[in-house]
Structures are given as structure tokens and as C-alpha cells.
Structure 1
Amino acid sequence: MRKGMQILNDPFKNKGTAFTMAERRELGLLGLLPTHVRTIEEQAAETYALYQSKTAGIEKRHLLMEIFNTNRTLFFYLMKQHITEFMPVVYDPVIAESIEQYDERYLRPQDAAYLDVNHPEDIEEELRAAADGRDIRLIVVTDAEGILGIGDWGVNGVDISVGKLMVYTAAAGIDPAQVLPVSIDAGTDNQQLLDDPNYLGNRQHRIHGERYFAFIDRFVDRVEALFPKSLLHFEDFGRGTAAKILDKYQERILTFNDDIQGTGIIALAGVLGAMNISKEKLTDQTFLTFGAGTAGMGIAKMLYEELVRQGMDPAEAKRRFYLVDKQGLLFEDTPGLTPKQQPFTRRRAEFANAGQLTDLLSVVKAVHPTVMIGTSTQPGAFTEEVVRELAAHAKRPVIFPLSNPTKLAEAKAADLLKWTDGRALVATGIPAGTVNYGDVDYQIGQANNALIYPGVGFGALAAQAKVLNDEMIAAAAHALSGIVDPDQPGAAVLPPVEKLADFSKRVAITVAQSAIDQGLAGKGITDAQQAVEQMTWEAKY
């Protein structure tokens, strides 16, 4: 292929019609582009006008992906200008529809590495080919067993890795040429995909157990060998594997699991923000998590560790938690408990009516929680009766229906405010508009992991941290919770998405500083702000 065509087909180098005439002569582009030279501002204005002409979210995403696949700089220039508008389109909730339609809409592999669990011997070659000589610093990998609220989507879930990395760049400023999305095709238990003649992944049921974890071990080993300065971000792995993988590697390499740690951080930040508004103490709260899977347990663990950091006895701190799953309240003798659930279960002897605590309402009546967080994917589970019962025993009830996409949310923000006479402190897992109640405009914080993981990961990378530990993660939560004005009527418990780039930088600096303070930063890195600024990439030609 001619040099000029190679450049036009390289999204990391392509500028499209913005190549100057001098650049066109130098790079062999003469005759390959229309004569008029445009600025990036003109390109962005034209593209945004075309974007606005699309009505369906999936069509808007399709257009943006065309730009992403051909010109990364223009894509991220646009996304920075319209980040609040683009976030739900390039990621949650529209990405769920994109995943479900992946086979039908497949055009390009989007510079991802596709790893086949049946061929572990090819991992290194596949990673090298996808990286194509680039200096990879950040990898987002998924096996797509537990996508968002939609479950197992096999190789289609690669869109999750691509979307996460988009947010990392737009929010924190990681160079898009230094990132690598990875799909581990371990099969799928989604019968719809197995029966679909257009499905692009392995037509086999999921691999589990020793063979699966041996593949993960080999993958991690090859990543460390090929990309020693990288952060390995695990995303949307199944309930049975995510925690095992994190526990195995967390203290050995620079790694992060967004479903466990990211969800935990954002929930902690939201609760801390709620405490800033209510002027109450975290150590005075009683916590109920509805949904005791990967996300729910990540939240419980993060809140528990914060209680201990604030001086509470560990045994007393654990007694502040009640886990409710599909069986009802989880007891120490509940069948099928996971290792993460076991420390937070209750004894039946604590309750005179233990056998009746099989639904959310009965548990709320029995334990009177002050903080209720939902990760259940059970739509409408926070009913009016449940919420009014909760509010009867809490001055400022903290209620976070975090399940997404929209159709799976436990409640709507407007209903929560109505049912609590405006007293509830609310964060949602999906974007929510301002709610007017009682002549007050309530800003609803979105407990979106995108508010936190870009800054966390970028800060760790900027500091060249050896590991990403709990102290760094807790520092990130406190940095995020301290941004909103708690004295503003109707104040949100979390900052708005439109300021994502600003507070991602603040979080990054905080995390980098934590690494420096703990002696975990790279050689010669002593200034957190300087380290973050030096690594920050800008979308400009």
C-alpha cells in the first residue's frame, strides 16, 4: 500500500481534510483528498451537525464509531466538546444495544485483540499483532460473561472494552495510541448467540475451572512481558471469576477491576457526599445492599473499609451491613454463599422472624437501614412501600438505585423524592435530569463508574505505580466526594458528568500522590501534578 493510503487508513495518524498542503506533499497525499484544507474546528462542526440529524441512539453511536475508526483525534476533540451528550451514546446505556447488535453492525475490529481460549499458545502473537508496535500503557480486557445488566454476550462484549477506553481518553487524557481493548473469547452460555448463524465468536459453552484460569494466568504473564508499564483493567467478568482474578493479581501487578473496585469507589464517594449534605457521620449509618453479586459486594467491602479507617472496630463495622439477594436476607447458613458474601452475613438468632425475611420490604422493616443501595437489576424493586418504610426511620435516607440500563433500575429519582417528601439523598446508575419537588430543584448525582475509574487508572499510570491498592482507591473516593457544594439546596451527592475532565484530573493527582506517599511510585517521580500533566494527551493536530 502506498505511504499516503497507509496514513489515511491509520486512525492514529489520519487528519482527513485537515492535512495542510505541505503535509500532503511530504506524506504522499497529493490527489488523495479534496483540495480545500479544513481546520479541526470546521471538521467538528460539520460532524456534529450530522450527528444531530440522527434520532436513534444506536444510529448516533454508529456515526461516532465511524469517526473513531478513521480519525481518533477528531473523535476525541468532538467528545471533549460534547461529553455529557456523548457519554450515554458511546457507553451506557446505548452500548447495551450496540452489543446486542454487534454481529449485524460489525465493520472493523477497532484495534482490539481477540483471544481464543482454545489457543492459549497464540496469546503473545495476538497481542503483538493488535498492538502493532505501539507503546501500550492501558489494557481493558473482558470475557463478557457479566455485561452491564444484560448478562453473557460472548465476543460481542468487546464493545465494552472499546467504550471504557474511550472514556479513559475523554475524561483523563490517556493517549488513544497507548490503549488496547482485549476480548477473551471463552465461549458463551447465551443460547441466543449459540443459535445465531451470524454470531462471530466461538460456538461453544463457556470454559470454566482450571482450564479457564490457566488461560488467564498465561494472558497476564504475556501482558507483563510485552507491556511492562501497563495497567491491566478487568471488566464485566462473571460473578464467579472477577473476585478470584482480582484477589490473585492485585498485590502482584498494576491492575484494577471496575465492577468490584470502581463500583465500590463511586458508591463510597456518593455516600460520603450524602454525609457532607446531611451533616451526619458515616459511622452512624446502617447499610443495606440489595443485590449481593460482584458490584454489591464491592460496595459493601469499600464502605466497610472506610468505617474501619474512621476508627470503628472491624467486628462492629461488619454488623452495620445487611445483604439482601434473591433469597432475601443472607444468613451464615444460606446455601451457595460466595467467599465475598460470607463475612457480611447475619446470624438467624438475631431475629425473632428470621424465616420471614425473604423479601426486601420485610428486611427493611426489621433492620431500619439508613443507606440502601441497589445493584440487583430488579426493575422497580424500591417500591413506594419499601421507600416510605425506610424513610420513616431515617432523617435523610440515602437511596442509590444503581442498576442499569434504564429498564433495570430499582426506582426513579423523582419517585424517591416524592415518597420521602424531598428528604432522600439520591444517586442513580443512569443519567437523571433535575427533579423539581417542593419548589426545590434537586440535582441527581449519577453514580457512574466513569466519574472515577479514568482518574484512578490514569493517576496510577502517571505515577508508574507498582500496584493500585486500597489506600489509593480510598483517596480517590474522598477526592470525588469533596467536589460538590453541600449547602446548595437540592445539591447532588456526586459531581456532574459535564465536569468529568476537571475532576478526573483531580482524582488522578490524588491517586498519584498516594502512590508517591506510600513509596510505590516509579523512580524519580515526586511531583504528582507534574506527572499527571506530562502524561496528559490533548486532541489536537
Structure 2
Amino acid sequence: MKSPLEQSMLSPLSPSTGGLTRSRSQVFSDPELFTPSKTNILHDSTYNKGTAFSRDERDKLGLSGLLPYKVETLEDQLRRALRQFRAFTTPIEKYIYLSSLQERNETLFYRLLVENLVETMPIVYTPTVGEACTKLHEVWRSSRGMYISLEDKGRIRRLLDNWSHVPDIIVVTDGSRILGLGDLGCGGMGIPIGKLSLYVAGAGFHPVKTLPVQLDVGTNNQKLRNDDLYLGLNRDRVRGEEFYSFADEFLMAVKDKWPKCLVQFEDFSNDVCFELLEKYRNKLLCFNDDIQGTGAVIVSGFLNAAKVTGIRPKDHKIVFFGAGSASVGVADQIAMVMKLDSDKDGKQVTVDEMRRRMYLVDSKGLVTKSRGGRLEVHKVAYARDDVEEELTSLLEVVKKYKPTALIGLSGQGQTFTEEILSLMAENNEKPIVFALSNPTNNSECSAEQAVKFTKGKCVFASGSPFPDVTYEDKVIKPGQGNNMYIFPGLGLGAVVSESKNVSDLMVLTASQVLADCVTEQDLKKGDIYPSLASIRSISVKIAAAVARQSVKEGLCRLTSIPDDWEQYVKNYVFEPAYAELGDASQLQ
């Protein structure tokens, strides 16, 4: 038996409700759906309005005398919240404040994020979320989402019944490879929480339709395990058949309980992330943001960077520093873009042929078939068999192959040295330099270093934000290849179309739409990404295009296909605004 609130959220896109925002108002105004017990509403972050409760609402809800006299607007509260937020001096203090605000008043929290996204995103997500994850057991305030451990094996489906809403999206991690910080055990939960905040702020998912999940299979981080405040399962991390059996039980339980729910895999280590994606991508609606989302946003930046350089995508030669899930995901998608570009000339090349224009460098040097040792499966497609001598450093590879683009996804800070960047500038009129590792201190170089050492010639993008750079009296705004550009709209399009799967072409469609959001005028200034301040409108465009692609591939499960996908998406979008209570005399 579903709760009244759960029933009210079942059909967010039906014409009768006009989208989730109106559905939320119905919850307030219909006594059969919402009968608050006196002051409980002040402690319910979804419906709490704090000082914005009207006089009538205060009387009928038994709140008179429990709040200051003044009835404020959401705008009044936003000014106070911003003043409080900006009063904190360190990023982690700002993170804790926003977490606390989210626990008290979700509407105000998301209004603050939506209207100040460029300022708040580095706090809610990278780079600050990395510090929050390492200190989760220290900054813990209250529970959000679901923690499912190995001890729950055999009863996971029953555990899901403890979640009171029907999610449209789940972000799940096992905490094994958090950003560039490694194994953080159950501390990795900060990533799904932060990611879903961005899904709400950046695409308009309704907060109650999101679910962060931590799969706790132990940790190999001995420092955490030795800390008496550590909150997770205190044992060695499980891998192999035991891990896959546990993950399968969870994913099949989700499919059984919420068959239309999108599952996003987040920050799983390289030894399992590829297999999870390949095993389940055609069994349920899911994708891996580290592999596909990162690939999509970098492909978009690459497409625009290629326009700036004047060199067609198919003619670029790319060196990747780092050969993990993100690098391979990016390389795969760029190879597809190169193939499509070549096809325009009537030359039917394969993706494998385009992979020959890429060189992956890992901790041992250039990835080759001849260097000895076991080669991880995901690297095989990029392993070179045409080298005369083994190249053991990035510098050697750049010297020998003279790439037009250098892409860093290594997690190793300060590895794009002055010598390497100078070489890129010597060999190219406009070298592409993407230093994409997160958080900031893991970036392969700073924006200032890239500009200075290439004498202002490079087309630059990073994973974490950098301040503007002044070079020879010219102010250069660094591009940020942030997954935030892609995953909210991609996820939104998959959900509103009720797609069976997330296909490669749906991901590529998201890349192309994002690239098209940058104008010719922006490109002339060297901008390869649009402003994140416009992320909501960008997400709507991406979602509509992704939904159309889902229909084109026969993946859409809607019984009636909308004529206007953009309007259909907009009807779904949650706007952080207080709902009118309606006839307060009906409420108990």
C-alpha cells in the first residue's frame, strides 16, 4: 500500500497535474494527501517554509508563537541565507552550512543553488565535496539516502521498501575511487548526495524523486578503518564474485521495485566499473558518468576546440595522460566523432582506425602490446603495436608523436610541466590542453601555467574551476570541462522519455547539443563551453534532444509521443518556490 504522498508523486508528467511543481501544491492543499501533525512541518525539509508561513497557515498548523512575527518571502530568506553562506571563510564550512540548510528547508536550499550556481557548485560538488568525503565521519550531521552493506545481502529488496518515495533517479557508488582521492569507503556517500543536488539545481529533478545510495562493501583505506569515528563496514573491501553478486542483487531489486528509475554509476574503481556498465546497460536504464558523462562533456569541448584550432576532428592527434575509465570513455567517444567527421568525406573508416590517432600514457608510460605485464582489458583497444622502443614518460611521448591535443585524466597534479607545455606550443599554432583531473590540487596544471608556458597560444579547459588569467594585457577565461554540462540533461532526457536504456547515440547527442550552445562569437574569444549560469536552459535542450534520440532508436516507452519535447521536459522541471497552502481550514 503506497502512502498518500507517494501516490501523489506517481504521475508527475500527467496533464492533470501539469508537472511536479503543481503536484507539490496538491500535496499541500488536499487534506487526504497532507495532514501535518502540528509542528512537524517545521522539521520536514520538503515542506517547511519557516518564516514564510502566512498568518493563516500559522494559525491552522499550530505554528503561531513558534516563529518570529514577520512573515517573509522566499526572496527575504534567500538574502539572509546568502549572507550567512558568504560569512563562512573556508569551503568546508560553507559545505556544512549548505548541508544544514538542505536538511532544514529544501526549497530555500535549491533556490540558493539555482540563482547562484557558479558560486555554490564548487562547494556542493568539486572540489569541496572531495574534502567533505574524506571527513564524512567528522562532519556527519544527519542521514540522507540509503546505505546498503554486505550485511544486508539477501534482503536488499525488502530494504528498498524503507524508502518512502518513488525515485526517478538513483546515483550509486561503492566509494572505491572518489574523484582523485581513492578509496574512501562509506565516506563516498558525499558524491551521490552532491551529484543529485546538481541534478535538481541543473536539470530540475524534484528533490523527493532522487535517491543517493552507498553500497558499503568495506574499504582498504587503513587510515579510515583505524579511526574510531568511521561509520562504515570495517573490513577489507570485497571484490570478485562476492561483489558482483551483491551488486546484482541491488540492481535487480531496483529494477523490480522501480522499473523506470535511472541508475547512475558513480566513482566505482576501474577494476569493476567497465564490467558493471557492460553487464547492465541493456538490462535496465543506467549509465556511468565517469565513463560516458566525462566522455560526452570532453567531446563537446574537443569539437569546439577543434573549431578554434581550424583543424578538423579527424585530423587531430591526441595524447591522453591517464588510462583509466574516464580516459577510455573520452577516447571512445572522440574516436566516434572522428569517424563521423571522416564519413563526411565519403571515407568509410572504422572507430578502431580512429583510435590509431590516440596515444594513452599510464604510470608505466605509453600503453603498448609489447611492454610486458598484464594489460587491463579496457586498455587493449588503445595498446600500440607500432612502437620501436618503449616510451616510459609523458615527455618522451609528446616529443616523439607531436600531438595536437593533450588531455589529462591522470589524477596526478602538476604533471603537465613547463617543458611539456612549451613543446605543445612549439609544435602547434593553437595546442589543445585539457587538464581535467579533480579536485583542483590534482589538476595536471593550472590555467595560469598552461597559458604562460604556451605563450598564450593554448585552448585550455580544466575539470575544476580556475580564476581568469591575464596574459599580455589580455584576460583569458579558462574553460571548465565539467560533467555538470552533460549528466543533468542526459539523465533528464532518459527519464522523461521513459527510455529502456541509455544508448551511445543518446550520449553523443548530448555532446553535440552542448557544443552547439557555444556561439561563433564565443569561439572567437576562445570560449569552448557556455556559461554554467545557463545550465537549466542547456539541460532542457539536451534532454529534449536525448528524448528524441530515444524515440528514434525505439527505446522510448511512452504510449503517446509528445509533439513538443522541450515543453514536455519543462512540464517536468521542479522550480524551487513555495507552494500555496490552499484552504488551511481543511488541515489538521
Partner Cα separation in structure 2 for residue 318 and residue 104 of structure 1: 45
**Residues 438/485 of structure 1: CA separation in 2 closer, same or farther (3 Å cut):** farther
**Residues 2/313 of structure 1: CA separation in 2 closer, same or farther (3 Å cut):** closer
Matches within 5 A, 1:123-522: 123-129=156-162, 131-132=163-164, 134-310=165-341, 311=343, 312-334=349-371, 335-347=373-385, 350-352=386-388, 354-355=389-390, 357-488=391-522, 489-521=524-556, 522=558
Partner Cα separation in structure 1 for residue 39 and residue 266 of structure 2: 35
Cα deviation, residue 59, structure 1: 0.7
Partner Cα separation in structure 2 for residue 257 and residue 308 of structure 1: 23
Matches within 5 A, 1:103-118: 103-110=137-144, 112-118=145-151
**Residues 486/387 of structure 1: CA separation in 2 closer, same or farther (3 Å cut):** farther
User: Which residue of the partner structure matches residue 11 of structure 2?
Assistant: none
**Residues 492/178 of structure 1: CA separation in 2 closer, same or farther (3 Å cut):** same
Q: Deviations over 1:298-347 (max 9, x none)?
A: 11111112222332333421211111000000111342322211011101
* 332-341 vs 375-384, greater mean Cα deviation: 332-341
User: Which residue of the partner structure matches residue 153 of structure 2?
Assistant: 120
SS at match of 1:340: helix
SS at match of 1:6: helix
Q: Deviations over 1:245-302 (max 9, x none)?
A: 0001112211011111111011101100101222320000011110001111111111
User: Which residue of the partner structure matches residue 124 of structure 2?
Assistant: 90
Contact 1:485 1:491 in 2 (8 A): no
SS at match of 1:341: helix
Partner Cα separation in structure 2 for residue 74 and residue 16 of structure 1: 10
User: Which residue of the partner structure matches residue 523 of structure 1?
Assistant: 559
Partner Cα separation in structure 1 for residue 565 and residue 365 of structure 2: 46
Q: Read off the aligned partner of 2:358 and give its amino acid letter.
A: F
SS at match of 1:204: coil
Partner Cα separation in structure 2 for residue 504 and residue 278 of structure 1: 27
Q: Deviations over 1:124-149 (max 9, x none)?
A: 233221x21x1211101110100001
SS at match of 1:494: coil
Partner Cα separation in structure 1 for residue 138 and residue 169 of structure 2: 29
SS at match of 1:392: helix
Contact 1:113 1:126 in 2 (8 A): no
Matches within 5 A, 1:9-28: 9-28=43-62
Partner Cα separation in structure 2 for residue 216 and residue 315 of structure 1: 32
Partner Cα separation in structure 2 for residue 197 and residue 471 of structure 1: 47
Partner Cα separation in structure 2 for residue 531 and residue 340 of structure 1: 38
* Aligned length, in residue pairs: 534
CA RMSD after TM alignment: 1.6
SS at match of 2:433: strand
**Residues 26/125 of structure 1: CA separation in 2 closer, same or farther (3 Å cut):** farther
Q: Read off the aligned partner of 1:320 and give its amino acid letter.
A: R
Cα deviation, residue 50, structure 1: 1.1
Contact 1:152 1:190 in 2 (8 A): yes
Partner Cα separation in structure 1 for residue 215 and residue 275 of structure 2: 16
Cα deviation, residue 2, structure 1: 7.3
Contact 1:277 1:487 in 2 (8 A): no
Contact 1:463 1:528 in 2 (8 A): no
Partner Cα separation in structure 1 for residue 561 and residue 40 of structure 2: 38
Contact 2:468 2:477 in 1 (8 A): yes
Q: Deviations over 1:391-429 (max 9, x none)?
A: 222222111000111111111112212222222111011
SS at match of 2:211: strand
Cα deviation, residue 363, structure 1: 0.7
Contact 1:40 1:74 in 2 (8 A): yes
**Residues 392/100 of structure 1: CA separation in 2 closer, same or farther (3 Å cut):** same
Residue identity (%): 36
TM, length-normalised to structure 2: 0.88
Contact 1:146 1:152 in 2 (8 A): yes
Q: Read off the aligned partner of 2:321 and give its amino acid letter.
A: F
Which runs of 5 or more residues in structure 2 are unaligned? Answer: 1-34, 344-348, 579-588
Q: Read off the aligned partner of 2:137 and give its amino acid letter.
A: D
Partner Cα separation in structure 1 for residue 211 and residue 148 of structure 2: 13
User: Which residue of the partner structure matches residue 35 of structure 1?
Assistant: 69
